[in-house]
Amino acid sequence: MLLAHGYGCDQAMWRFLVPAFQDDYRLVLFDYVGAGKSDLSQYNREKYGTLDGYARDLLDIIDAVSGAPVIFVGHSVSAMIGVLAANERPDAFERLLLLGPSPCYINRDQYHGGFTKEDIDALLRTLDENHLGWSRAMAPVIMRNEDRPELALELAESFCRTDPEIAKHFARVTFLSDNRADLPLVTVPSLILQCAEDVIAPPFVGEFVHQHLRDSTLVNMRATGHCPHLSSPAETVEAIKNYLNQ
């Protein structure tokens, strides 16, 4: 089971899920370049100018650690990175488990990604000008669960630990990406975990992903915000286990 963290996070974000699966699966956790304890010298701006560069890293990790198809767990932008990797090498994946996936964050025609182009431009401009301030302001919006401010604080601190220049570039690549056309190409069975009150990936987006992934299961969770593996790990584990045990 390969667990891929979302934007501004690192592998520590999976710590509540690890105990639930470590007895039944070989778990592989990693940090994208720029996050956690990754080797910053490996960052190449051209390679990571699209999500395809991150997808290539996923396939390299799978080749290095597994002789069999993996169960992929991808949070947020990693969901689409996993989709790209699975389209490149479907034989490398047994299942795709997608937490809060969004193929496009910008509203386009009849598609409602949750943000206008002006919203995204302003978000990226603020991030460019004040990485730390952006991190502290955005974390509570992304996390929700206002009754547990320690969760938003953890997310903000994770944002702040990410290399700022890489974080700015990764944000631009993430929020300006449009992977809607990649969804119908997926042949790997998929689970979509859709949270309530998620400003990053609202319910319309989860339903859109479900409609365009041919062999997918959609679970609408009670969990609120964009990080159910932190805010509602028990519900997240239950949904994953129910799906894998079908």
11-18 mean pLDDT: 96
Catalytic residue among 78, 198, 229, 232: 198
Query: Considering the entire predicted model, what is its pTM?
Result: 0.95
Q: What is the CATH number for 80?
A: 3.40.50.1820
pLDDT at 142 over 90: yes
Confidence of residue 35 (pLDDT cuts 50, 70, 90): confident
Residue 80 lies in a domain: yes
Residue 137 lies in a domain: no
- The average confidence (pLDDT) of the chain is 95
Residue 71 lies in a domain: yes
Catalytic residue among 5, 75, 76, 158: 76
Question: First and final CA of the chain: distance in angstroms?
Answer: 17
Residue 228: CB atoms within 10 A of its CB come to 27
pLDDT at 68 over 90: no
Residue 198 lies in a domain: yes
59-83 mean pLDDT: 96
Residue 227 lies in a domain: yes
pLDDT at 66 over 90: no
Burial of 46 (0-12, 13-18, 19+ CB in 10 A): exposed
- What's the token pair of residue 206? 């989860």
Q: Sign of torsion, CA 29 93 239 1?
A: negative
Catalytic residue among 5, 131, 226, 229: 226
Residue 57 lies in a domain: yes
The parent domain of residue 7 ranges over 2-104+178-244
Q: Which of 24-29's residues contact partners 24+ apart within 8 Å by CB, and which partners?
A: 25/1, 25/71, 26/1, 26/66, 27/1, 27/3, 28/1, 28/2, 28/3, 28/61, 28/65, 28/66, 28/70, 29/3
Confidence of residue 36 (pLDDT cuts 50, 70, 90): confident
Q: How many domains does the chain have?
A: 1
pLDDT at 130 over 90: yes
Q: Annotated catalytic, 76?
A: yes
pLDDT in tens, 207-232: 999 999 999 999 999 999 999 999 99
Q: Annotated catalytic, 232?
A: no
Residue 184 lies in a domain: yes
Confidence of residue 161 (pLDDT cuts 50, 70, 90): confident
Residue 162 lies in a domain: no
pLDDT in tens, 73-103: 999 999 999 999 999 999 999 999 999 999 9
